[in-house]
């Protein structure tokens, strides 16, 4: 092993608001809270999801390759219909794409993520 996973860093326009969305989606807590960098995780000594301010921010497009998604999170849930209702109430938007085992959404700053269930 060369090293250990520290964080997944997501470029965005507003780290504070995007971290708040993912805190509620993933049940994580704030680890770092600076204006240009916010990290959330299960605990300070565990891997985190971090949100980094970039300017100018160019949102990915789903689907598309002009501004590609580059990465996305899969969030496992027990009930897709219930989870969909909850993420839409948090500010996510449905892309209308998916199957009986996954659905694709955009977070409030247009990063794609999937709810998955099997």
Using one digit for the tens of pLDDT, what is the confidence trace for 62-82? 887 787 777 888 899 999 999
**What's the confidence (pLDDT) of residue 78?**
93
**What's the confidence (pLDDT) of residue 64?**
79
pTM of the model: 0.86
Query: Which candidate, 62, 113, 111, places its Cα nearest to that of 84?
Result: 113
Mean pLDDT of the chain: 92
Task: Put the strands of the sheet holding 93-98 in their side by side order.
Answer: 73-76, 112-116, 102-106, 93-98
Contact 108, 21 (CB under 8 A): yes
For a pLDDT cut of 70, what percent of the chain falls above it?
Answer: 99
Averaged pLDDT, 21-33: 95
Peptide bond before 66: cis, by omega within 30 degrees of 0? Answer: no
**Residue 11 reports pLDDT greater than 90:** yes
Averaged pLDDT, 45-51: 92
């Amino acid at each position: 092993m060369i090293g250990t996973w520290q964080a997944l860093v997501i470029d965005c326009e507003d780290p504070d608001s995007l971290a708040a969305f993912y805190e509620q989606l993933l049940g994580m807590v704030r680890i770092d809270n600076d204006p240009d960098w916010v990290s959330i995780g299960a605990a300070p000594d565990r891997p985190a999801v971090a949100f980094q301010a970039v300017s100018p921010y160019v949102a990915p497009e789903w689907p598309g390759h002009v501004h590609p998604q580059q990465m996305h999170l899969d969030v496992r849930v027990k009930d897709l219909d219930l989870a969909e209702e909850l993420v839409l109430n948090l500010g996510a938007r449905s892309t209308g794409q998916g199957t009986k085992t996954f659905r694709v959404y955009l977070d409030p700053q247009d990063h794609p993520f999937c709810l998955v269930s099997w």
